[in-house]
């Protein structure tokens, strides 16, 4: 006991208050532990199971959705396969028709044809001979004489695909459009220019002396 404080007050501060604080702290710790245990029970016993159940439901929904998608895609793939088979059948039918037509052309026209030498000894007509009666001999060609002219024009365009052969011509036209050197074509490509080709074509058609023209 202190010399300056009563005995009761000393015991209160030295013994009772520390014990009371310890009891208070122990009670607070018990309350915290109780809350923690309760939270853990709720988390483990309810929320975690709820999450697992929700995940199971979601997985089942995903499986159902994927199954529906697979079923729909199976229908699409089936339609695509049917379309591809139909296209393949159509292609085969076209190829068979072409083969049959080529065989008929060879049988009816090519195999019955005769070599004419010289070619200028008979008239050049369309492959059907313009259906002329009387058995007049002729040389048949697809499109007749006009088609042969087309082949010539097409060959010129293939040999001279660009307009490099026309550079000098246009330069001379720009210099003097009335000069004598540009009144007639100087190469096959210039012949296909409109101012040269149309007169040339008209003249050649007149010279053909072909009755069906």
Task: Give the residues of the chain that fall short of pLDDT 50.
Answer: 1-5
Three-state DSSP state, 183: coil
pLDDT of the residue at 89: 93
Percent helix, strand and coil across the chain, each to the nearest 5: 75, 5, 20
Q: Is 138 within 8 Å of 124 (Cβ atoms)?
A: yes
What are the tens digits of pLDDT across the range 157-191? 888 888 888 888 888 888 888 888 888 888 888 88
Q: What is the pLDDT of residue 2?
A: 44
* pLDDT score at 4: 47
Q: In whole angstroms, what is the distance from residue 206 CA to residue 213 CA?
A: 9
DSSP single-letter state for residue 184: S
């Amino acid at each position: 006991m202190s010399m300056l404080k009563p005995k009761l007050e000393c015991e209160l501060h030295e013994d009772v208050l520390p014990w009371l604080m310890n009891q208070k702290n122990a009670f607070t710790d018990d309350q915290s532990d109780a809350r923690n245990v309760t939270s853990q029970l709720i988390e483990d016993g309810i929320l975690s199971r709820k999450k697992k159940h929700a995940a199971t439901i979601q997985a089942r929904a995903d499986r159902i959705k994927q199954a529906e998608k697979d079923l729909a895609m199976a229908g699409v793939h089936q339609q695509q396969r049917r379309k591809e088979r139909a296209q393949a059948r159509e292609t085969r039918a076209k190829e068979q028709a072409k083969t049959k037509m080529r065989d008929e052309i060879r049988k009816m026209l090519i195999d019955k044809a005769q070599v004419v030498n010289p070619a200028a000894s008979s008239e050049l007509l369309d492959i059907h001979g313009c259906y002329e009666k009387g058995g007049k001999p002729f040389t048949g060609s697809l499109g007749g004489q006009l088609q042969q002219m087309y082949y010539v024009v097409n060959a010129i365009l293939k040999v001279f695909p660009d307009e490099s052969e026309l550079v000098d011509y246009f330069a001379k036209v720009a210099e003097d459009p009335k000069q004598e050197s540009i009144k007639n074509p100087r190469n096959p490509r210039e012949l296909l220019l409109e101012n040269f080709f149309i007169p040339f074509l008209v003249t050649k058609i007149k010279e053909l002396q072909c009755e069906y023209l």
